[in-house]
Structure 1
Protein backbone atom coordinates (compact mmCIF):
# COMPACT_ATOMS: atom_id res chain seq x y z
CA UNK A 1 0.00 0.00 0.00
CA UNK A 2 1.74 3.15 -1.17
CA UNK A 3 -0.28 5.69 0.86
CA UNK A 4 0.48 5.16 4.56
CA UNK A 5 -2.54 7.25 5.59
CA UNK A 6 -4.84 4.71 3.88
CA UNK A 7 -4.52 2.47 6.94
CA UNK A 8 -4.75 5.22 9.57
CA UNK A 9 -4.76 5.11 12.51
CA UNK A 10 -2.75 1.91 12.00
CA UNK A 11 0.86 2.28 10.89
CA UNK A 12 2.64 -0.15 8.60
CA UNK A 13 6.42 0.12 8.46
CA UNK A 14 9.31 -1.84 7.00
CA UNK A 15 12.16 -2.46 9.43
CA UNK A 16 14.94 -2.02 6.89
CA UNK A 17 16.40 -3.24 3.61
CA UNK A 18 18.60 -5.90 5.22
CA UNK A 19 15.65 -7.21 7.27
CA UNK A 20 12.52 -8.04 5.24
CA UNK A 21 10.26 -7.74 8.27
CA UNK A 22 7.37 -5.34 8.42
CA UNK A 23 5.52 -4.02 11.44
CA UNK A 24 1.87 -3.08 11.90
CA UNK A 25 1.09 -1.08 15.01
CA UNK A 26 -1.56 1.00 16.77
CA UNK A 27 -0.83 3.32 19.69
CA UNK A 28 -2.79 3.76 22.93
CA UNK A 29 -3.93 7.28 22.07
CA UNK A 30 -5.67 5.95 18.97
CA UNK A 31 -7.10 2.92 20.79
CA UNK A 32 -8.88 5.27 23.19
CA UNK A 33 -11.16 6.42 20.36
CA UNK A 34 -12.95 3.05 20.31
CA UNK A 35 -12.19 1.76 23.82
CA UNK A 36 -15.85 2.08 24.76
CA UNK A 37 -16.80 -0.53 22.14
CA UNK A 38 -14.43 -3.06 23.70
CA UNK A 39 -15.56 -2.16 27.22
CA UNK A 40 -19.22 -2.49 26.24
CA UNK A 41 -18.49 -6.17 25.58
CA UNK A 42 -16.24 -6.65 28.63
CA UNK A 43 -13.13 -6.96 26.47
CA UNK A 44 -9.78 -5.32 27.12
CA UNK A 45 -9.42 -2.17 25.05
CA UNK A 46 -5.61 -1.90 25.05
CA UNK A 47 -2.89 -3.52 22.95
CA UNK A 48 -3.57 -7.01 24.26
CA UNK A 49 -7.27 -6.67 23.47
CA UNK A 50 -6.50 -5.58 19.92
CA UNK A 51 -4.06 -8.47 19.64
CA UNK A 52 -6.78 -10.90 20.73
CA UNK A 53 -9.22 -9.45 18.24
CA UNK A 54 -6.63 -9.61 15.47
CA UNK A 55 -5.72 -13.19 16.38
CA UNK A 56 -9.35 -14.22 16.14
CA UNK A 57 -9.75 -12.49 12.78
CA UNK A 58 -6.61 -14.14 11.43
CA UNK A 59 -7.82 -17.54 12.63
CA UNK A 60 -11.28 -17.16 11.10
CA UNK A 61 -10.64 -15.08 7.96
CA UNK A 62 -7.04 -15.68 6.95
CA UNK A 63 -5.92 -18.97 8.52
CA UNK A 64 -3.32 -19.62 5.81
CA UNK A 65 -1.45 -16.53 7.03
CA UNK A 66 -1.49 -17.38 10.74
CA UNK A 67 2.06 -18.75 10.76
CA UNK A 68 3.32 -15.62 8.99
CA UNK A 69 2.06 -13.13 11.60
CA UNK A 70 3.84 -12.69 14.92
CA UNK A 71 2.21 -10.69 17.68
CA UNK A 72 4.20 -8.69 20.20
CA UNK A 73 1.77 -6.22 21.74
CA UNK A 74 2.20 -4.31 24.96
CA UNK A 75 -0.59 -2.69 26.94
CA UNK A 76 -0.05 0.66 25.22
CA UNK A 77 0.79 -0.61 21.70
CA UNK A 78 -0.70 -3.22 19.40
CA UNK A 79 2.08 -4.81 17.34
CA UNK A 80 2.24 -7.45 14.60
CA UNK A 81 5.43 -8.40 12.76
CA UNK A 82 5.74 -10.31 9.51
CA UNK A 83 7.95 -10.76 6.49
CA UNK A 84 4.72 -11.32 4.50
CA UNK A 85 3.67 -7.80 3.59
CA UNK A 86 0.54 -9.03 1.80
CA UNK A 87 -0.75 -10.86 4.90
CA UNK A 88 0.09 -7.93 7.15
CA UNK A 89 -1.68 -5.52 4.83
CA UNK A 90 -4.75 -7.79 4.64
CA UNK A 91 -4.94 -7.81 8.44
CA UNK A 92 -4.44 -4.04 8.55
CA UNK A 93 -7.36 -3.51 6.17
CA UNK A 94 -9.63 -5.72 8.29
CA UNK A 95 -8.67 -3.90 11.49
CA UNK A 96 -8.88 -0.44 9.94
CA UNK A 97 -12.37 -1.18 8.62
CA UNK A 98 -13.48 -2.24 12.09
CA UNK A 99 -11.84 0.76 13.74
CA UNK A 100 -13.85 3.14 11.57
CA UNK A 101 -17.13 1.20 11.78
CA UNK A 102 -18.34 0.77 15.37
CA UNK A 103 -21.00 -1.79 14.38
CA UNK A 104 -18.42 -3.92 12.58
CA UNK A 105 -15.99 -3.61 15.49
CA UNK A 106 -18.73 -4.64 17.89
CA UNK A 107 -19.61 -7.64 15.70
CA UNK A 108 -15.96 -8.72 15.51
CA UNK A 109 -15.59 -8.47 19.30
CA UNK A 110 -18.82 -10.38 19.94
CA UNK A 111 -17.86 -13.19 17.58
CA UNK A 112 -14.17 -13.35 18.55
CA UNK A 113 -13.05 -16.72 19.78
CA UNK A 114 -12.64 -16.59 23.57
CA UNK A 115 -9.23 -18.29 23.35
CA UNK A 116 -8.04 -15.13 21.61
CA UNK A 117 -10.18 -12.41 23.19
CA UNK A 118 -11.51 -13.07 26.66
CA UNK A 119 -14.76 -11.42 27.64
Structure 2
Protein backbone atom coordinates (compact mmCIF):
# COMPACT_ATOMS: atom_id res chain seq x y z
CA UNK A 1 0.00 0.00 0.00
CA UNK A 2 1.33 3.47 -0.76
CA UNK A 3 0.48 7.16 -0.99
CA UNK A 4 2.48 9.65 -3.03
CA UNK A 5 2.99 13.39 -2.49
CA UNK A 6 0.03 14.31 -4.70
CA UNK A 7 -2.27 12.09 -2.66
CA UNK A 8 -1.01 13.28 0.72
CA UNK A 9 -1.28 16.95 -0.29
CA UNK A 10 -5.07 16.61 -0.50
CA UNK A 11 -5.31 16.34 3.31
CA UNK A 12 -2.00 17.94 4.37
CA UNK A 13 -3.89 20.85 5.93
CA UNK A 14 -5.52 18.48 8.45
CA UNK A 15 -2.09 17.30 9.63
CA UNK A 16 -0.73 20.85 9.67
CA UNK A 17 -3.72 22.05 11.69
CA UNK A 18 -2.46 19.78 14.48
CA UNK A 19 1.25 20.54 13.95
CA UNK A 20 1.86 17.05 12.59
CA UNK A 21 4.03 16.17 9.61
CA UNK A 22 1.89 15.66 6.53
CA UNK A 23 4.35 13.73 4.37
CA UNK A 24 5.24 10.04 4.20
CA UNK A 25 6.77 9.91 7.65
CA UNK A 26 3.68 11.56 9.18
CA UNK A 27 1.36 9.06 7.51
CA UNK A 28 3.63 6.25 8.65
CA UNK A 29 3.50 7.50 12.24
CA UNK A 30 -0.27 7.78 12.07
CA UNK A 31 -0.55 4.28 10.61
CA UNK A 32 1.74 2.79 13.26
CA UNK A 33 -0.33 4.41 15.99
CA UNK A 34 -3.58 3.15 14.44
CA UNK A 35 -2.21 -0.37 14.12
CA UNK A 36 -1.27 -0.42 17.79
CA UNK A 37 -4.60 0.99 18.96
CA UNK A 38 -7.04 -0.65 16.51
CA UNK A 39 -5.34 -3.85 15.37
CA UNK A 40 -2.55 -4.76 17.81
CA UNK A 41 -2.37 -8.38 16.67
CA UNK A 42 -0.98 -7.10 13.35
CA UNK A 43 1.92 -5.00 14.66
CA UNK A 44 4.54 -7.56 13.60
CA UNK A 45 2.82 -8.32 10.30
CA UNK A 46 3.21 -4.84 8.77
CA UNK A 47 6.50 -3.40 7.60
CA UNK A 48 6.87 0.31 6.97
CA UNK A 49 9.33 1.89 4.57
CA UNK A 50 8.16 5.44 3.99
CA UNK A 51 10.19 8.37 2.76
CA UNK A 52 9.35 12.07 2.86
CA UNK A 53 7.44 11.96 -0.43
CA UNK A 54 5.92 8.48 -0.16
CA UNK A 55 4.05 6.46 2.46
CA UNK A 56 4.74 2.74 2.10
CA UNK A 57 3.63 -0.31 4.08
CA UNK A 58 4.20 -3.91 3.06
CA UNK A 59 2.99 -7.23 4.38
CA UNK A 60 2.73 -10.84 3.33
CA UNK A 61 -0.52 -10.93 5.35
CA UNK A 62 -3.19 -9.62 3.00
CA UNK A 63 -5.82 -9.31 5.76
CA UNK A 64 -3.54 -7.17 7.94
CA UNK A 65 -2.74 -4.95 4.98
CA UNK A 66 -6.40 -4.70 3.97
CA UNK A 67 -7.51 -3.87 7.51
CA UNK A 68 -4.99 -1.03 7.70
CA UNK A 69 -5.98 0.15 4.23
CA UNK A 70 -9.61 0.31 5.33
CA UNK A 71 -8.71 2.41 8.39
CA UNK A 72 -6.57 4.81 6.38
CA UNK A 73 -9.04 5.02 3.50
CA UNK A 74 -11.84 5.98 5.90
CA UNK A 75 -9.66 8.66 7.48
CA UNK A 76 -8.40 9.98 4.15
CA UNK A 77 -11.97 10.55 2.96
CA UNK A 78 -13.33 11.91 6.25
CA UNK A 79 -11.46 14.97 7.50
CA UNK A 80 -13.14 14.86 10.91
CA UNK A 81 -12.08 11.25 11.42
CA UNK A 82 -8.56 12.00 10.19
CA UNK A 83 -8.36 14.91 12.62
CA UNK A 84 -9.52 12.67 15.47
CA UNK A 85 -6.93 10.02 14.60
CA UNK A 86 -4.16 12.63 14.49
CA UNK A 87 -5.15 14.20 17.81
CA UNK A 88 -5.29 10.84 19.56
CA UNK A 89 -2.22 9.33 17.86
CA UNK A 90 0.53 8.05 20.09
CA UNK A 91 3.21 10.80 20.11
CA UNK A 92 5.91 8.12 19.99
CA UNK A 93 4.87 7.59 16.38
CA UNK A 94 3.35 10.91 15.26
CA UNK A 95 5.09 14.03 16.52
CA UNK A 96 2.90 17.04 17.16
TM-score normalized by the length of structure 1: 0.80
1:77 counterpart (26, 29, 54): 54
Matched residue, 1:9: none
Q: For this pair of structures, how many residues does the alignment match?
A: 96
Find the residue that maps to 2:57 and give its secondary structure: strand
1:100 counterpart (74, 77, 83): 77
| Structure 1 consecutive aligned stretches of length 4 or more whose deviation exceeds 2 Å | none
Q: Which has the higher helix share?
A: 2
2:2 counterpart (1, 25, 38): 25
Pair 1:91-2:86 in alignment? no
Matched residue, 1:12: none
Cα RMSD for the two superposed structures: 0.3
Alpha-carbon distance in structure 2 between the residues aligned to 1:66 and 1:97:
20
1:68 counterpart (21, 25, 45): 45
**What are structure 1's unaligned runs of at least 5 residues?**
1-23
